[in-house]
Structure 1
Amino acid sequence: MESNSTASGAHPSPEVRQGPRRHRKFSIADIIIHLVLALLTICTILPFYNVVLMSFSNTAAISKQLVYLVPTTFDLSAYSYILHEPRFLKALLVTLFVTVIGTSINMLVTVTGAYVMSKTGFPGRKIVMSGIIFTMFFNGGLIPFYLTMKNLHLINNLLVMVLPVAVNTFYLIICIAFFRTLPAALEESAKIDGANELQVLVKIIVPISMPMIATITLFYAVDRWNEWWYGVLFMTNVNLLPMQALLRELLTNYAQVLSSITTSVQLQNSDLQPEMLKMAVLVVSALPIVCLYPFLQKYFAKGVMIGSVKG
């Protein structure tokens, strides 16, 4: 019977072909590493978790405990105070403009500049690179910077939060170092096929550099989203303040209002505590960037050069 089954072309079952599955045995070192990583994860998440819970708490809950592990209340007073600010929508649109346009300009200048500076044959490359590094250690000071922006007619202009920060020197150096690691055979083969420098950059360099570009884009987006200093410094029109500057103003003004209350009974009876407003401000300012991260995360783990060069 066995010979007949073999001759008839019967295939062995998957269990027979693959053999029994082997379960990985965790050593004591693996267990310790997992426990340490789990502890670090809890220590990282717990502050953010506490911030969110406190933003939804009320006066009575805050007065009883400082750290929240289990939600006890659900109060939207802090968020209502923020969203009912008449200038909030305008400030949000300003921040969106600065983030989208600013990040686009940042990446355009950084990627093109890094590609040029990564070329060893670029004339004067060392001099230009020295000038770029020089800006990391020295600047002209706040007053000359303000006067320069004023002479360029950028006061009360949204571009003042975009153009002066068109490139971050540190991010530029990272891109330059990355482009230098790419094989020269990629560009040479493209140029043999008739591609110019712009086509090489757009069709070859950028696609295989997406993990690095996605990371730098996220860094720039966070910087532009959190922009408030230039808004406070150069915007005399309150309707042009970015959201972060407006939230700071709301928090400062509310703290000044509470400081004028003379009795502790009045402070305790207040519907909105400074801690509630502070935590709500943190949630509102960080939530959009947190939502953006999952869309860029997939690029971080990808291999940069897999399949790009064939021997």
Structure 2
Amino acid sequence: MFSLKRKTMGEATFDIVNNMIMLCICFITLYPIWYVLVNAFNNGSDAMSGGIYWWPRVFSLENFKAVFVTPGIMQAMWITVAKTVVGTAAHVFFTAMVAYALSRKNLIGGKLYILMGTVTLFFSGGLIPTFLLMRDLHLLENFLVYIIPFMFSFFDLIIFMTFFRDIPEGLEEAARIDGANDWSIFLRIVLPVSMPVLATIALFHGVFQWNDYFTGMIYINNPDLQPIQTYLYRVVAQSSSNQMMVAVQGSSVTKSVTSQSIKLATMVVTTLPIVFVYPFLQRYFVKGMMIGSIKG
């Protein structure tokens, strides 16, 4: 028979207090998201009277209709999807390629490269030198400004190296006996067995690419090349919401929307896609993080 250890009064009290604190933290974290969601689905004119905290008082989809009839928002959404997909794929492949090379013991100068990369974790050139560099590379007003500067991350490289060093050397030796070169080993053996860490880094960088508004704000002035997050920034922080109201008034959407309700609906539209992607990668994410932390 198994004997159950009874908790002391102090342990029981600690568990109760700890659970209460964690519930409070979860509530403080999640409620603002719920508040935005509830008000986004509520009639905009009705929401101006306040008092909406838990459920929509007058359910309406007019706010979302107003968002999608606004000129430019679908183009911004397309730019965001394109840069997230292309940028994540390029980042994962390029960083994994460099990490595989540095994880090999026979690489000449490998320790020097790692030391140089470690310095970049603590020091950077700053915004102005980076802007000048992007200008000299002709990346201003260019879609590639979302891709090329973010193809490599030394922090992600460390996670990749930790995983690659744990792959049995017998796999590579057997492949070399069969005549495989480094590219064949990397593409046909290393990458297929590295799905947990690949999914982890893809989730990290994908969320970054989706949420990044700063790059579009600094390096892009062309509205046709700005992502949805930069568009949202301008809606929330500038007078773009008034411009949206003008566009909405000229459409078939009713006058039940307000500038505030359009802002909230835009937040929901820009947030939900990446939220839906996370559950599909969660199991790889947890496994990859364990590999990067425990075995590292």
Q: Once the two structures are superposed, what CA deviation does each residue of 1:256-299 show, in whole Å capped at 9, x if it has no partner?
A: 78xxxxxxxxxxx984153x334323211111111222332343
**Alignment counterpart, residue 223 of structure 2, candidates 227, 233, 238:** 238
1:101 equivalent to 2:86? Answer: yes
Work out the number of aligned pairs and report it. 271
Q: Once the two structures are superposed, what CA deviation does each residue of 1:120-179 show, in whole Å capped at 9, x if it has no partner?
A: 221111111122122222222222222222222212110011111111221111111222
How far apart, in 2, do the equivalents of 1:26 and 1:210 lie? 40
Q: 1:77 touches 1:272 (CA, 8 Å); kept in 2?
A: no
Q: 1:161 touches 1:227 (CA, 8 Å); kept in 2?
A: no
Task: State the 1:206 CA deviation.
Answer: 1.6
**Alignment counterpart, residue 105 of structure 2, candidates 102, 112, 120:** 120
Q: What residue number does 2:154 align with?
A: 169
1:64 equivalent to 2:64? Answer: no
**Alignment counterpart, residue 295 of structure 1, candidates 275, 280, 288:** 280
How far apart, in 2, do the equivalents of 1:238 and 1:99 lie? 18
Q: What residue number does 2:250 align with?
A: none
1:178 equivalent to 2:163? Answer: yes
Q: What residue number does 1:13 align with?
A: none
Task: State the 1:36 CA deviation.
Answer: 7.8
Q: Are the structure 2 counterparts of residues 92 and 26 from structure 1 closer, same or farther at C-alpha, using a change threshold of 3 Å?
A: farther
Q: What residue number does 1:148 align with?
A: 133
Q: More displaced, 29-38 or 211-220? A: 29-38
Q: What residue number does 1:280 align with?
A: 265
Name the SS of the counterpart of 1:181 in structure 2: coil
What are the equivalent positions in structure 2 for 1:3-18 lying under 5 Å apart?
A: none
Q: Are the structure 2 counterparts of residues 300 and 134 from structure 1 closer, same or farther at C-alpha, using a change threshold of 3 Å?
A: closer
Name the SS of the counterpart of 1:65 in structure 2: coil
Q: 1:54 touches 1:62 (CA, 8 Å); kept in 2?
A: no
Q: 2:40 touches 2:264 (CA, 8 Å); kept in 1?
A: yes
Task: State the 1:84 CA deviation.
Answer: 1.9
Q: What residue number does 1:86 align with?
A: 71
**Which amino acid in structure 1 is aligned with residue 50 of structure 2?**
K
Unaligned runs of 5+ in 1: 1-21, 258-268, 305-311
* Aligned-pair Cα RMSD in Å: 3.3
Larger Rg: 1
Q: Are the structure 2 counterparts of residues 37 and 196 from structure 1 closer, same or farther at C-alpha, using a change threshold of 3 Å?
A: farther
Q: What residue number does 2:176 align with?
A: 191
How far apart, in 2, do the equivalents of 1:120 and 1:239 lie? 47
Q: 1:109 touches 1:166 (CA, 8 Å); kept in 2?
A: yes
How far apart, in 2, do the equivalents of 1:296 and 1:129 lie? 29
Identity across matched positions, percent: 35
1:253 equivalent to 2:233? Answer: no
**Which amino acid in structure 1 is aligned with residue 192 of structure 2?**
P
Q: Are the structure 2 counterparts of residues 37 and 188 from structure 1 closer, same or farther at C-alpha, using a change threshold of 3 Å?
A: farther
Q: Are the structure 2 counterparts of residues 190 and 62 from structure 1 closer, same or farther at C-alpha, using a change threshold of 3 Å?
A: farther
Q: 1:114 touches 1:175 (CA, 8 Å); kept in 2?
A: yes
Q: 1:231 touches 1:245 (CA, 8 Å); kept in 2?
A: yes
Q: Once the two structures are superposed, what CA deviation does each residue of 1:82-134 show, in whole Å capped at 9, x if it has no partner?
A: 22221112111211221111111101111101111111221111111122122
Q: 1:91 touches 1:239 (CA, 8 Å); kept in 2?
A: yes
Name the SS of the counterpart of 1:140 in structure 2: coil
How far apart, in 1, do the equivalents of 2:90 and 2:288 lie? 26
How far apart, in 1, do the equivalents of 2:144 and 2:31 lie? 38
How far apart, in 2, do the equivalents of 1:99 and 1:239 lie? 16
Q: Are the structure 2 counterparts of residues 271 and 290 from structure 1 closer, same or farther at C-alpha, using a change threshold of 3 Å?
A: closer
Q: Are the structure 2 counterparts of residues 41 and 194 from structure 1 closer, same or farther at C-alpha, using a change threshold of 3 Å?
A: farther
Task: State the 1:240 CA deviation.
Answer: 1.5
Q: 2:63 touches 2:257 (CA, 8 Å); kept in 1?
A: no
